[in-house]
Amino acid sequence: MAKKANQFSFGGFVFAERALPTPPLGSGVLPGGKGRAASFTDLRLIERDGRSSPIMKDLPTVISNNKCYSITPIVNSGCFYGGPRGCV
């Protein structure tokens, strides 16, 4: 077993039946607008001994529909994310 994790993930998820509009992700606002998007703040890695360190660099992203949902790069251990309802 490795002494440290070699990967981790976090994220959001929305689901709707095919005939229904999708719900919003986060606050329903795409990031980068007027500061109303949802956010992750103070992202930290916690070691086995309880010590933690902030995540200060960007990580790879996977977005299933980048026309509907988005996430900003991680800056100062935080990022913004979201997307409107009813997107297809």
What does DSSP assign to residue 24?
P
The domains of the chain are located at: 39-83
pLDDT of 1: 43
Q: Is the pLDDT of residue 81 over 80?
A: yes
Q: What is the DSSP string of 1-67?
A: --SS-S-----------TTSPPPPBTTS--TTSSS-SEEE-S-EEE-TTS-EEE--S------S-TT
Q: Are 60 and 71 in contact (CB under 8 A)?
A: no
pLDDT of 4: 67
How does the average pLDDT of the chain come out, rounded?
84
pTM: 0.78
Strands (DSSP E) found in the chain: 38-40, 44-46, 52-54, 70-71, 79-82
pLDDT of 17: 86
Regarding predicted confidence, which is higher, 49 or 2? 49
